[in-house]
Amino acid sequence: MTQLSIDRLLDLEHRGWDALSSSQGGTFYGDLMTPDAVMILVNGMVLDRPTIAQTLNDSPPWSSFSLDGARVVSTGEASAALIYTATARRDGQDEPFVALMSSHYRVLDDQVRLTLYQQTTITHG
């Protein structure tokens, strides 16, 4: 499972957050996601790949972010989930966005692809 090492998956996550910070998230995730993949956001929205590809470039960019406490959970021979805490800020917002993230990846045709992404807000200390 060398293709799904913590370093490889963290690299993909950082590239995704960089894309979201430069209004290129729809392009990046449209390429990375499997055709049936979904993103489940803290506000309860479930977005499929076509919706992500069409709309995410228009989301307000993040001005800074950090990914902490990352760990990998194996889910099979060619799949794994990356779990971490994200802290991100947008210009003009007083409070940072802090959430637990779970990104599930799978190797398809020798490419690492995102199959499921879920955010869980941190509301309790």
CA distance 91 to 2: 38
* C-alpha–C-alpha distance, residues 6 and 10, integer Å: 6
Per-residue pLDDT tens digits of the chain, which is 125 residues long: 446 999 999 999 999 999 999 999 999 999 999 999 999 999 999 999 999 999 999 999 999 999 999 999 999 989 999 999 999 999 999 999 999 999 999 999 899 999 999 999 986 55
Burial of residue 80 (CB within 10 Å: 0-12, 13-18, 19+) is buried
Query: What is the pLDDT, as a whole number, of residue 1?
Result: 40
Phi and psi at 32, nearest 5°, equal -80, -30
| Domain 2-121: top CATH class | alpha beta
Domain ranges of the chain: 2-121
> What is the C-alpha separation between 36 and 17, in angstroms, rounded?
21
Note the pLDDT of residue 122. Answer: 85
Residue 124's pLDDT is 54
Q: What pLDDT, on a 0 to 100 scale, did the predictor assign at position 123?
A: 66
